Amino acid sequence: MTTLVSTIPQIRDALRATFRSGLTRPIAWRQHQLYQIARMAQNERELICDALKKDLGKPKTEVLMNEIGSTIDIAVKSAQRLPEWAKTEHPEVADWQKPWKPTIYKAPRGTVLIISPWNYPMILTFQPLIGAIAAGCTAVLKPSELVPTFSQLLEELVPKYLDPNVCRVVNGAVPETSKLLELQWDHIFYTGNGRVARIVASAAAKHLTPLSLELGGKSPVIIDSAYDIDLAAKRILWGKCNNAGQICVAPDYILIQRDKQDELVKAFQKHYNAFFPDGALDSSLFGSIVSDLHHKRLTSLLSRTKGEIVLQGRADAARRRLEPTIVKDVTDGDSLLEEEIFGPILPIVPVDSLDQAIDFVNARSHPLVLYAFSDNESMKQRLVSETQSGGIVFNDTFQYLAVSELPFAGVGESGYGYQFMKYTYDTFTQLRSSIDMPKDVEQHLAIRYPPHSEEAVKALTAAVYTPIPSSSL
Ligand code: NAD
C-alpha cells in the first residue's frame, strides 16, 4: 500500500526519537535485530520467491542464492563480527601524546534513508539495512515501485521481525520519495540509476547529508586472444543471464581481437544451447524483463543496431520475455553503446590491439567493474594501472560479489560510497575522535600559552624544520 505522504515526516520523527532514546546502542540488541533479518529471510523464503516470480519472473534458484541466501549470510556474519567492528580504538601515537588517551569512538550516524531499486530488491534493501542496524542507526526503507508485490510483502514482513520503532518501510513512487528527500537524514544510501542519483544528491546537498550512491553503467569485458575463448564465453554468458542481464555488474559489451570474434560467437552459441536446450523464452531458469517500458527500450536498441545479430533472441512483449541476443561487429556510435544495456543483449566490439581496447574503455565514463580474461600478468597489470573502474575482475564475471569482505563501490559515473559487510557498517558509522587531557601534563603544555619565549617558539614550530628524506627519483 502506498504510504500517505502526510505521514512521512512523522515516521522520520518517530525513528529519530527512538535513536535518541538510546535503544539501538547495545551491541546485543543490534545482533538480535540482525538475526531477526536472517530469520525473516529463512522463514519467509517461499513468500519472497513467489513475490519475485510475480514481479520479475525470477528463477527460484536465483532468488534463493542471490537474494535470500546472501541476506542470511551477510546478516549472520555481520552480527558475529560486530563486537570486533564496534570496538573503541586507541591509535598508535607518539609517546608524549599517550597520556592524552587518544580514542576513536564508533558512533552511529543516526536516522538514515535507504532507497533501493527493483532488480535485486531484497539484497539491495537488506544489505545496507544490515550495515545501518549493525552501526546502531534507525532506518526508513524505500523499496522500488517497479516490484509492487515484493515491496508490499516487505511492508508486511519488516514489522513482524524488526522493532517497528527502528525500521519502517515507506512504499510509493516519485511523490513519496520526493517527500522523503525533503527531510533531513543523517545518511542517504541510494542504489539505482544516475539520473535519479542527481535528484537525490541535490536534495541531500540542501541538508549537507552524507550520501552513498551505488549506480551502474557499461561494464566492459576485454578478452585476450591467447585466453581460452570457450571458457571465457561460458563464464561471460553465465554472468549475462542472471536476472536476464538486469544486474548492475552485468557484462555490458565485449572487446576482442578482430580475428577471434567468430570463435567467440561460436562458443556463445554452443554454451547457450547447453544452458537452455529449448531456448530461454519459456525457461523457468531465465528471468523476465521488469516492465513493458524496459522491454520496449531493449527491443528498440536492437532494432537500431548496425551490428550483425548472430544469436537471435526471440522476444515476447506480452510476457516481457527476451532471450539472450549476441550482436557482433558493433562499432563506436552504435545504439548498443549508447547507454547501460541492463538486459540480455551482448554486443561484441572488435578491436585491433590491447591499446585500442584500453583507449575505448578510457574514452567512456568509469564503469562499475572492468572484466578481463587473460593469463598474461603484464596485461593484467597494464589494465590495473591504465584504466579506472569500481572493481576489476580477471577471468570471471560477477562471482566476485560472493566475496563480501571486498569493498564494493563505483567511481565517477558509477557512484561512490563503499559497501558490503564491514564497509557498510563503516558507511553508517561516524569515527568520533577524542582525547582526554590529564591535569598533570600542564607543565608540558606550558609553552603553548602566550606570551611565547624564543625557546617556546622554537619548540612549537619545530615541525617546520623537519629534515625531509631525499627521494630516489
Ligand atoms: P528504480 O527505477 O527502482 O529506482 C530506484 C529508486 O529510485 C526507487 O526506489 C524509486 O522509487 C526511486 N526513484 C525513481 N524515480 C525517482 C525520482 N524522480 N525521485 C526520487 N526517487 C526516485 O531502479 P533503477 O534506477 O532503474 O535501477 C537500475 C539501475 O540501478 C541501473 O543503472 C543499475 O546499474 C543500478 N544498480 C546499481 C547497483 C549497485 O550496487 N551499484 C545495484 C543494482 C542496480
CA distance 51 to 351: 43
| pTM, 2 dp | 0.96
Work out the angle between the directed axes of helices 229-241 and 261-275 (0-180°, nearest 10). 50
- Long-range CB contacts (< 8 A, 24+ apart) of 446-449? none
**Atom of ligand 1 lying closest to residue 368 CA:** 41
Percent of the chain surpassing pLDDT 90: 99
**CB neighbourhood size of 149 (10 A):** 16
Find out whether 19 and 30 touch, Cβ atoms under 8 Å: no
Average pLDDT on 51-77 reads: 96
In the three-class reduction of DSSP (H, G, I as helix; E, B as strand; rest coil), residue 101 is classed as: coil
Q: Is 177 in the pocket of ligand 1 (CB under 6 A)?
A: yes
Cα-to-centroid distance, 78 and ligand 1 (Å): 25
- Protein residue whose Cα sits closest to atom 6 of ligand 1: 117
Is residue 44 annotated as part of the catalytic site, yes or no?
no
Is 53 a residue whose pLDDT tops 90? yes
In the three-class reduction of DSSP (H, G, I as helix; E, B as strand; rest coil), residue 139 is classed as: strand
> What does the mean pLDDT of the chain come to?
97
Cα-to-centroid distance, 196 and ligand 1 (Å): 7
- Protein residue whose Cα sits closest to atom 40 of ligand 1: 214
**Atom of ligand 1 lying closest to residue 414 CA:** 41
Q: Is 340 in the pocket of ligand 1 (CB under 6 A)?
A: yes
Q: Is 201 in the pocket of ligand 1 (CB under 6 A)?
A: no
Average pLDDT on 46-52 reads: 98
Where does the pLDDT of residue 163 fall: very low under 50, low under 70, confident under 90, or very high at 90 and above?
Answer: very high
**Atom of ligand 1 lying closest to residue 145 CA:** 11
**Residue 191: predicted pLDDT:** 98
The CATH label, of 3.40.50.300, 3.30.450.40, 3.40.605.10, 3.40.50.920, for the domain at 5-215+419-430 is 3.40.605.10
**Residue 312: predicted pLDDT:** 86
Where does the pLDDT of residue 204 fall: very low under 50, low under 70, confident under 90, or very high at 90 and above?
Answer: very high
Cα-to-centroid distance, 146 and ligand 1 (Å): 10
Cα 53 versus chain centre, distance:
23
CA distance 131 to 85: 11
Where does the pLDDT of residue 473 fall: very low under 50, low under 70, confident under 90, or very high at 90 and above?
Answer: confident
Mutate to test the pocket of ligand 1, among 183, 191, 365, 411 (most ligand atoms within 8 A of CB): 191
Instruction: State the pairing for strand pair 315-316/321-322.
Output: antiparallel
pLDDT tens-place string over residues 388-434: 999 999 999 999 999 989 999 999 999 999 999 999 999 999 999 99
| DSSP 8-class letter at 466 | P
- Protein residue whose Cα sits closest to atom 19 of ligand 1: 174
Average pLDDT on 437-441 reads: 97
Mutate to test the pocket of ligand 1, among 177, 212, 416, 427 (most ligand atoms within 8 A of CB): 177
- Residue 45 in grid coordinates: 523464503
**CB neighbourhood size of 80 (10 A):** 12
Is 189 a residue whose pLDDT tops 90? yes
Domain map (residue ranges) of the chain = 5-215+419-430, 220-403
Find out whether 367 and 361 touch, Cβ atoms under 8 Å: yes
| DSSP 8-class letter at 146 | T
Is residue 167 annotated as part of the catalytic site, yes or no?
no
How many DSSP H helices and E strands does the chain contain? 17, 17
- Protein residue whose Cα sits closest to atom 9 of ligand 1: 144
pLDDT tens-place string over residues 231-242: 999 999 999 999
**Atom of ligand 1 lying closest to residue 214 CA:** 41
What fold, for 220-403?
Aldehyde Dehydrogenase; Chain A, domain 2 (3.40.309)
Catalytic member of 248, 323, 340, 413: 248
**Residue 453: predicted pLDDT:** 96
Q: Is 135 in the pocket of ligand 1 (CB under 6 A)?
A: no
Average pLDDT on 285-313 reads: 96
Cα-to-centroid distance, 191 and ligand 1 (Å): 6
CA distance 407 to 410: 10
pLDDT tens-place string over residues 245-295: 999 999 999 999 999 999 999 999 999 999 999 999 999 999 999 999 999
Is 1 a residue whose pLDDT tops 90? no
Catalytic member of 62, 155, 176, 214: 214
